[in-house]
Chain A
Amino acid sequence: NAGVTQTPKFRVLKTGQSMTLLCAQDMNHEYMYWYRQDPGMGLRLIHYSVGEGTTAKGEVPDGYNVSRLKKQNFLLGLESAAPSQTSVYFCASTSERGGPFNTEAFFGQGTRLTVV
């Protein structure tokens, strides 16, 4: 009964380094999302995927890349980290709209990333 699992939970990067955040869900959800959370700004969508092999840009995509090679996994990459990318990152998944009880989004535990 894992739900959505993000790894790692914490990370400190130096400016210019790269890293990949992994999101894994075991609910067979079609839709997966990456958000960043900053004080006073809520959660802002970075990239999302509506199915295996698909990705699309969200509200704040610059500096990030994503891949969804397998339905259960959604990867978020930072090729050259910048201090402005210091944030808490959340992955979420949902099923397609099909009724009133499967609309809930399930979230990972979040990843606190600090870029120095």
Chain B
Amino acid sequence: SAVISQKPSRDICQRGTSLTIQCQVDSQVTMMFWYRQQPGQSLTLIATANQGSEATYESGFVIDKFPISRPNLTFSTLTVSNMSPEDSSIYLCSIGGWGGQPQHFGDGTRLSIL
């Protein structure tokens, strides 16, 4: 299966700053997904990133807060902007399916906001 490299693996950030998370895949994929898991919550889809088009955001997530880039078929970034303590979460990128095929995840970014 594809190898997914996500970085940083963890970070501690100051309130009001922004952090960009990178996700690199060793093969070309059409769709990449960005998830967040806040403490005690379920893994929640932030947006779907397709190469060559704007990302599709889920209800409750907006582009100004979570801008996403997808410059090619192997790479994507998620920026968490103007961070507050509520943004402390694990952020995951993934590839793969939602139907008959499983998703494959990066190792995650564990983000803490002071």
Co-assembled chains A and B: no
B residues neighboring A (CB under 8 Å) = none
A residues neighboring B (CB under 8 Å) = none
